Amino acid sequence: MAGPQLRRQDFRLHDYCSHEQHSGFLQREVLSGLVPSNLNNDVHPVFDRTRFSMAFDYDKLKPTLMLASHFLETALPIFHSILCGRLSRIGQVGKAKTDCYSFPDPLTNLTDCQKTATYRRIEAFSIPLRFYLETTGNATWHGLPAPDKNSCDTLSTGLAGCAPKIWISGSNLYDPLVEALAAEDDIVQQQYWSFKLAITLVHELSHAAVFAATTDAIDKYEYFLGDHGKSTEMGFETEAWLFGGVTPNHSVETDCGTYQCAETGKISEFNYMITAHEYHCPLKAKSYQQSSVPYLLREKDGKKTAATFWNTSFLHIHQMFQDAFWKDVVPFQGRKALFFERHTSLQYGRDAQNEVASLWSHAVDSIAIPHGYYADRRGLIRWKVGETNEVDLSNLSIRGEKMFAAEMGNAKRKPTEDLATKTGEVWRTLLTKVREKFFDHG
């Protein structure tokens, strides 16, 4: 498959900040051989021109809708589970004791008959579906209060019709794409924002599918995706199923840089990394709670206190706009061909007030903060005030753990504001090794 080669990729420890949109990392890639989108697949009927309001320039959306159609096809097992599966009752979940149900776990592979049945139901429930351009906020879906039950009377097994509206943010999604398309040679921004919008369309479509499958019960109950579903946020479940993690908030990337045309090398600088968050992500759950639209988590997932995410090269996204990727790679590798590879990951710690503290950089399976600690903005490992914990060395896999164990004596200690006062030299050594190994590449 023709495509570019990554010539250099640097990660620089720039600054410690307390929020993901100011992660302090700059990704700089020197790229060559980038080519415009050459997708040749049909746009799925769910994304037909008639479903988009006149506020959209539909012709400019074609590459995005082609990519979204590929994502929809890859995520078809999820839509089959929602639209064709049998619900089972889980019981009451959460502090509010909400009645919860579960769709079946998505199948690994669907038969031709199952694919046909799922496509028919997607097309049927989407008959009244409309996409609108929102001037504020991110994309979201809304079910009309009085859906036309006769609009989808071709559906069987009790699946009632619906009339959902999906709102697409102009400032955070559509406008950046239109601006990128105005610069003909800016392939990076064109494909990046097209990728983001395509993800959003499928994300929101999965919410609409749940609404179609449950009708008026959507306000009374919550729904998980099989035994392995971590939350009732079906859009994130779909993203995690497709990419191995959920993509960043759409408002994070305010400036992803430009594609500089040059003969010898084409440079693109992204102010933020292209990342996926491990799901379930406590940061996203917290943000949803603060916005008064919380979703439920299974008990074991609700106890998670650290948010881990990892980056990918732009080239990973770039290949998704090539027809050969969907013809030669995905049929053999399946959805895992879309996964953001985990080369280096970053982890958020928590401070004493259980607020998001700062970033702790580490390689996967190499080092992590011991339980009960967090990294401050200077990179110092601190004890959570008000807690008494035993030092957990199980996650340390670089040399230095014996020194640390000897220093701490594996004993419970009184809470200390600054652990570095006792073991500063040990931790400085560990941090230095991590930074030298993973970040200081000149």
pLDDT of residue 168: 87
The SS3 assignment for 32 reads: strand
* Tokens matching residue 169: 């943010």
pLDDT of residue 78: 93
Element (H, E) at 336: none
Give the span between the Cα atoms of 51 and 43, in whole angstroms: 12
Residue that has been written with the tokens 């890859």 in this structure:
74
pLDDT of residue 365: 34
* CB-based contacts of 313, cutoff 8 Å, min separation 6: 6, 9, 29, 274
Give the span between the Cα atoms of 379 and 265, in whole angstroms: 35
pLDDT of residue 67: 98
* Tokens matching residue 149: 């039950």
Q: Which residues of 322-338 are buried (b: 16+ CB within 10 A; e: fewer)?
A: beebbeebbeeeebebb
What are the respective helix, strand and coil percentages of the chain, to the nearest 5?
Answer: 40, 20, 40
- For CA atoms 219, 225, 228, 233, the dihedral sign is negative
The SS3 assignment for 434 reads: helix
The pair phi, psi for residue 365, each rounded to 5°, is 65, 20
Residue that has been written with the tokens 């259980």 in this structure:
354
* CB-based contacts of 235, cutoff 8 Å, min separation 6: 203, 204, 206, 207
Q: What is the pTM of this model?
A: 0.69
Per-residue pLDDT of the chain (442 residues; tens, 9 = 90+): 333 333 323 333 232 233 333 333 444 566 667 788 999 999 999 999 999 999 999 999 999 999 999 999 999 999 999 898 888 887 776 666 777 788 889 898 899 999 999 999 998 888 888 898 877 655 565 543 333 333 332 222 233 344 577 888 888 789 889 988 988 777 888 888 899 999 989 988 988 888 888 765 555 677 778 777 777 778 888 998 999 888 754 333 444 444 444 444 455 555 455 777 777 766 666 666 655 565 666 665 556 556 666 767 778 889 999 999 999 999 999 999 999 876 555 555 444 444 444 344 443 333 344 455 555 444 444 555 544 333 333 333 333 333 333 334 433 343 333 333 333 444 445 445 444 444 444 3
Give the span between the Cα atoms of 4 and 394, in whole angstroms: 40
* Tokens matching residue 347: 């982890």
Strands 373-375 and 356-363: unpaired
**Nearest C-alpha neighbor of 249 from the set 358, 143, 173:** 173
Largest CA distance in the chain: 73
Neighbours of 286 (CB within 10 A): 15
Contact 314, 31 (CB under 8 A): yes
Q: Which amino acid is at 127?
A: I
**Nearest C-alpha neighbor of 274 from the set 235, 246, 303:** 246
Angle at the Cα of 351 from the Cα atoms of 248 and 288, rounded to 5 degrees: 35
pLDDT of residue 408: 41
The SS3 assignment for 205 reads: helix
Contact 294, 285 (CB under 8 A): yes
Provide the strand spans (E) within 53-211.
88-93, 98-103, 130-134, 140-143, 164-169
pLDDT of residue 136: 61
* Tokens matching residue 292: 């008064």
The SS3 assignment for 151 reads: helix
